[in-house]
Amino acid sequence: MTIQFDRPVIIRPPSEWRSYFLPLTSGCSNNTCTFCNYYGARLQMRELDDVKKEIDALASYTRTGICLPCVPQVVYAIGRSWDGKRVFLQDGDALVYPVPRLREALSYLNESFPALERIGSYATPQDILRRSHDQLTALKKLKLSIFYMGMESGDDKVLQKVGKGVNSQELVEAGKKAREAGITLSVTVILGLGGIEGSEEHALKTAKILTDIDPDYAGALTLTLVPGTPLYKQWKQGEFHPISPMRSLEELKAIIENASFTHCFFSSMHASNYFSVRGTLPRDKERMLTEIEEVLAARDPSLLRPEFLRGL
Ligand code: SF4
């Protein structure tokens, strides 16, 4: 019996806005993170034939402009503005897709779209650690060349509390392994994830493992408590104490101040943040810190993104 694959909604890194979104899975294999709206989500693997049919439909559409009624209209909706250069594999961790099938899907994509420049995917640290160096380099050759890995925190206590399923050492190993395979690494950390009590340690230990991983890109997000998640419940029950917006800037400052990078594009442009800063580290460190310090010195809430404009 074939199980109907439920196409996931598009959740993507900001830099993938021009990509074609090709689902290989739905949900996330590590659905235990207590702050995440994937918490408890069922993981579904899409049939490879189904993936290939979508690639065929997209290839035919880009050649002829013809839309077939039997193809989900979302294929054409995305395909219409697609420039043929980038593909983002959905969903929460498409790297969990079994390697032989993943290789076949990537080969098929490359054959169908020879001008493809880059394929990207979310990857959990567990997914990366499960793959051998040779498997990762083989995937890289097939243009799977950027991983987006949520590291959230460098503090083992926080990682354990939020159910990340790995410790800081494993995060570092996973990050280094991706980079050693020549895969560009973009990581995210979450300001406020340690709550008030764990704030300082969370920021300093996060800076430490960012230094150890030395990623190509790092993005700071700010914790948003999502109704229905365990962390939201803990907050409502008085067991988790969120930090203030100004404190999130102090965490951001501590991370930028204490992390050392070779060459990293660091940004807090994500809509969840109260203040946006971006630049290449170490080059722009002083300028970025000054921008944050000015807001912290003014203590003026009107300089922060209003709550109603924050997004996930
Ligand atoms: S691994 Fe990532 S996508 Fe999966 S539940 Fe955790 S935070 Fe969410």
DSSP 17: T
pLDDT of residue 4: 83
Between strands 118-122 and 44-45, the pairing is unpaired
pLDDT computed for residue 311 by the predictor: 79
How far CA 148 is from CA of 94, 111, 131, 234, in Å, comes to 11, 24, 16, 28
- Relative to the CA of 150, which ligand 1 atom is closest? 2
Q: Does the Cβ of 31 fall within 6 Å of ligand 1?
A: yes
AA letter at 249: L
Residue having the nearest C-alpha atom to atom 2 of ligand 1: 150
**Two structure tokens written together for 257:** 């101040």
Specify the pairing of strand 264-267 against strand 184-191.
Answer: unpaired
The pLDDT value recorded for residue 75 is 94
Q: 123 CB less than 6 Å from ligand 1?
A: no
Distance 186 CA to ligand 1 centre (A): 15
Per-10-residue mean pLDDT of the chain, 312 residues long, equals 80 92 95 93 94 96 93 93 95 95 98 97 97 98 98 98 98 98 98 98 98 98 96 98 98 98 96 96 98 96 91 76
The CB of 36 under 6 Å from ligand 1? The reply is yes
The model's pTM is 0.95
**What pLDDT was estimated at residue 308?**
87
153 within ligand 1 shell (Cβ under 6 A): no
Determine the pLDDT at residue 312: 72
Q: How far is the CA of 31 from the centre of ligand 1 (A)?
A: 6
Residue 148 alpha carbon to ligand 1 centre in Å: 11
Instruction: Output the CA 193–ligand 1 centroid distance in Å.
Output: 14
Determine the Cα–Cα distance for residues 299 and 225; give it in Å rounded to an integer. 24
Query: What are residue 26's DSSP bridge partners?
Result: 44
Task: Look at residues 102, 87, 252, 120 and name the one whose alpha carbon lies nearest to residue 186.
Answer: 120
Ligand 1 pocket, residue 92 CB under 6 Å: yes
Please report which helix (H) or strand (E) contains residue 257, including its range: helix 245-258
For atom 5 of ligand 1, the residue with the nearest CA is 31
* Residue 2, pLDDT score: 58
Task: Indicate which atom in ligand 1 lies nearest the CA of residue 164.
Answer: 6
Q: Is 150 in the pocket of ligand 1 (CB under 6 A)?
A: yes
Protein residue with its CA nearest to atom 3 in ligand 1:
92
User: Distance between CA 11 and CA 90 in Å, rounded?
Assistant: 8
Ligand 1 atom with the smallest distance to the CA of 124 is: 1
